[in-house]
């Protein structure tokens, strides 16, 4: 392929120049660059996609200085794939060139077949593909250009996988963050198994994962049972990347890798069972799949199949991973299982609901500690999970499951903080104080998510329905409430009973909350109100370990976009539960009094401004009237009402308390 024949699309130009695709379209409409008229090159023809001659684009980038790639002239050959070329044909030729080191562009097809027979005499991954090729020379010349423009076969393959040809049949794989996480966990497991390198067994699923992890292991084992037509492509890519491959698993420990992301949901647990059955001794299996199947509550046959796998006792670690790790469905959360060949380790689980909370090294450390059942260390993420709870049709990973948090603050520090706060709250209006005393320090504090408490039937969540202003009855006695309190809509009691007999009503002690935008909550002390959606009710049961006012206070301290309410964590209080809740109830009352005073002050401010502006009132000088407090004061001559009353006493406007 000559330079004149080579072409680039707008997408190729964006990759070559190191800019976003819309930038190239903008360049086409701006012929001036650095004060000179340098029009964008004309397209070759009007066919789609629009293509441009490679040498003209390279010259235009050099003249204008546009783009972020100073080596555009050297990289350009890598991005000008031949029109109509097959990605697998190009990968096959790149594999052949990488294995021989020979240039292919000037060789005949028979010569290429001879080379393939020498490299792959058993036709394991290359020979039949070379034999089936036709019109080889343009593709072979491109592969030579690609190899020359790249820093080794691995970079050449990376560029080929991002080329125009690859983009024509996109596969939306895992993100780099997901790959880095699985790689870190897999390497941690391997080092825990043996001080020397162990093999990685590809048990099916994503080739992307196997290739990303293969370089970290002794070899990549692709069992013959897993070999299919697309497996040959995996072996070719492994050869290009310099990854040793084999079909037989060597004796000793190994790490098995299986991705069921994108698999048929009905076949997922059968595929996982096949992987677990292949584990021997100390070997470890990493299984990546949808959290909806691996972690969440299930029902029917799917729940039974998963329960059978959990009952075996091979599952030692399960994690719900944050959304955004799978490009195909960025809103779907993934789940990770770590299984072992033996059955004497307890199950530990965790819910990592935000990407900002994801630290691959810490996840790997927790996995290794779970494999060894190491109770001498603190887990950042994982918590023990009773298998019998999972077998009782509960979720493997209840939402919001986090590790126990270690307490580092001394009791005296807590006392000082409370004292400092009450020095402010004890001021009149009226005063509010909390009396505390030091107690023995606790090494750790247990926290549970609302999802865990719901699973344990220690709370229930009730939904409301929508009401609007048309439902309002000024004389009504039944309030409609949401997460911030009464909405101002009231209904007649009889009408409410007849028209909304199945509507959700609050009970005394219910926590009414909202999770949209900024979370907010309050406790209904009376009950009987109608709940307006999207607000919901949390109804705590005895033994929940937290009081309603404590729960409401925790919700009100959450930041914006706090995530799924079931993942919100609350402390499990073993002492002073009622005393803390009573103190927070009093704090809520105090806050309401302050808001009432502030509202009154705002009303007073508005009234004073309006009254004085309209001439209805005058404000007397307070210092003057203090001196005349016992003297007579006459009304204003103009007939307006002054700030001095009929008895000559100054009427105070506001006392600064």
Q: List, for residues 460-494, the tens digit of each pLDDT value.
A: 999 988 888 888 898 899 999 999 999 999 999 88
Closest CA to 528 of 582, 499, 486: 486
The predicted-structure confidence for 583-612, as pLDDT tens digits, reads as follows 999 998 888 888 877 776 776 676 667 666
> Of 224 and 214, which is predicted with more confidence?
214
- Average pLDDT, whole number, for the chain? 84
- Residue 214, φ and ψ in degrees, nearest 5: -60, -35
pLDDT the model gives residue 612: 65
Predicted pLDDT at 181? 96
pLDDT attached to residue 636: 42
Residue 81 has pLDDT above 80, yes or no: yes
> How far is it, in rounded angstroms, from Cα 62 to Cα 71?
10
Higher pLDDT, 265 or 343: 265
| pLDDT, position 637 | 42
**pLDDT tens digits, 506-541:** 999 999 999 887 899 999 999 999 999 889 999 999
pLDDT on residue 429: 67
Residue-wise pLDDT tens digits, 120-160 = 999 888 999 999 998 888 899 999 989 988 888 999 999 99
Q: Is the pLDDT score of 650 beyond 60?
A: no
Q: Return the structure tokens found at 28.
A: 């086409």
pLDDT of residue 611: 62
Q: Is the pLDDT of residue 627 over 70?
A: no
Q: Residue 629 above 50 pLDDT?
A: no
What single string gives the DSSP state of each residue in 51-106? EEEHHHHHHHHHHH--SS-TTHHHHHHHH-PPTT--HHHHHHHHHHHHHH----TT
Of 429 and 77, the one with more pLDDT: 77
On the question of pLDDT at 653 being above 70, the answer is no
* 656/355: higher pLDDT: 355
Percentage above 70 pLDDT, the chain: 84
Q: Would you state the pLDDT for residue 608?
A: 67
Segment of 179-183, 433-437, 619-623, 624-628 carrying the highest mean pLDDT = 179-183
pLDDT in tens, 317-332: 999 999 999 988 888 9
List phi, psi (to 5°) of 131.
-60, -35
What six digits make up the tokens of 228? Answer: 């299919």
Distance in angstroms (rounded) separating the CA atoms of residues 618 and 614: 10
Strands (E), 216-305: 220-221, 245-246, 255-259, 284-290
279-325 confidence digits (pLDDT tens): 888 899 999 999 999 999 999 999 999 999 999 999 999 999 999 99
Query: pLDDT per residue over 250-290, tens digit each?
Result: 888 999 999 999 889 999 999 999 999 988 888 999 999 99
Instruction: Provide the 3-class DSSP secondary structure of residue 165.
Output: helix
């Amino acid at each position: 392929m000559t330079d004149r024949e080579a072409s680039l699309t707008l997408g190729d130009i964006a990759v070559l120049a190191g800019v976003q695709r819309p930038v190239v379209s903008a360049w086409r409409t701006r012929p001036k660059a650095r004060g000179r008229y340098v029009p964008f090159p004309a397209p070759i023809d009007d066919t789609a996609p629009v293509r441009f001659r490679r040498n003209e684009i390279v010259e235009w980038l050099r003249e204008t200085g546009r783009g972020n790639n100073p080596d555009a002239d050297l990289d350009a050959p890598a991005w000008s794939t031949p029109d109509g070329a097959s990605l697998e044909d190009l990968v096959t030729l790149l594999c052949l060139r990488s294995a021989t080191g020979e240039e292919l562009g000037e060789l005949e097809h028979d010569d290429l077949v001879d080379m393939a027979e020498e490299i792959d005499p058993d036709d394991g991954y290359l020979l039949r593909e070379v034999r089936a090729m036709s019109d080889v020379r343009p593709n072979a010349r491109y592969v030579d250009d690609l190899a020359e423009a790249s820093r080794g076969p691995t970079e050449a393959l990376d560029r080929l996988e991002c080329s125009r040809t690859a983009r024509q049949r996109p596969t939306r794989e895992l993100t780099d963050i997901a790959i880095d996480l699985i790689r870190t966990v897999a390497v941690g497991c391997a080092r825990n198994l043996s001080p020397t390198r162990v093999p990685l067994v590809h048990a099916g699923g994503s080739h992307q994962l196997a290739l990303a992890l293969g370089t970290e292991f002794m070899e990549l084992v692709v069992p013959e049972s897993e070999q299919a037509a697309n497996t040959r492509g995996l072996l070719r890519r492994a050869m290009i990347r310099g990854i040793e491959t084999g079909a037989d698993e060597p004796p000793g420990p190994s790490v098995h890798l299986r991705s069921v992301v994108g698999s048929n949901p009905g076949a997922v647990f059968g595929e996982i069972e096949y992987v677990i059955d292949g584990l021997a001794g100390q070997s470890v299996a990493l299984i990546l799949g949808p959290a909806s199947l691996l972690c969440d509550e299930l029902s029917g046959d799917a729940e039974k199949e998963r329960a059978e796998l959990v009952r075996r006792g091979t599952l030692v670690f399960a994690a719900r991973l944050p959304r955004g790790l799978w490009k195909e469905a960025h809103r779907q959360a993934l789940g990770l299982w770590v299984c072992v060949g033996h059955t004497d380790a307890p199950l530990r689980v965790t819910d990592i609901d935000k990407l900002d909370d994801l630290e691959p090294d810490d996840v790997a450390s927790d996995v290794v500690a779970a494999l060894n059942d190491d109770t001498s260390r603190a887990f950042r993420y994982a918590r023990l999970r009773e298998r019998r709870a999972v077998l009782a049709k509960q979720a493997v990973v209840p939402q919001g499951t986090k590790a126990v948090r270690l307490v580092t603050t001394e009791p005296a520090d807590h006392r000082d903080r409370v004292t400092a706060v009450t020095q402010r709250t004890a001021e009149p209006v009226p005063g509010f104080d909390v009396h505390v005393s030091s107690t023995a320090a606790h090494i750790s504090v247990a926290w549970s998510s609302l999802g865990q408490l719901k699973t344990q039937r220690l709370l229930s969540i009730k939904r409301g329905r929508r009401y609007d202003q048309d439902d309002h009855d000024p004389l009504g006695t039944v309030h409609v409430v949401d997460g911030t309190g009464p909405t101002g809509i009231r209904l007649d009691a009889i009408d409410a009973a007849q028209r909304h007999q199945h509507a959700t009503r609050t009970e005394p002690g219910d926590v009414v909350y909202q999770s949209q935008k900024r979370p907010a909550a309050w406790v209904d002390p009376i009950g009987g109100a109608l709940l307006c959606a999207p607000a919901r009710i949390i109804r705590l049961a005895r033994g929940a370990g937290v009081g309603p006012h404590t729960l409401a206070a925790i919700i009100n301290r959450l930041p914006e976009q706090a995530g799924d309410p079931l993942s919100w964590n609350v402390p499990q209080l073993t002492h002073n539960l009622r005393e803390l809740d009573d103190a927070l109830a009093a704090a809520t009352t105090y806050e309401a009094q302050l808001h009432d005073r502030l509202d009154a002050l705002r009303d007073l401010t508005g009234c004073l401004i309006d009254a004085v502006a309209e001439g209805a009132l005058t404000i007397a000088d307070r210092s003057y009237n203090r001196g005349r407090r016992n003297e007579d004061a006459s009304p204003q001559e103009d007939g307006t009402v002054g700030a001095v009353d009929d008895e000559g006493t100054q009427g105070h406007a506001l006392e600064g308390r």
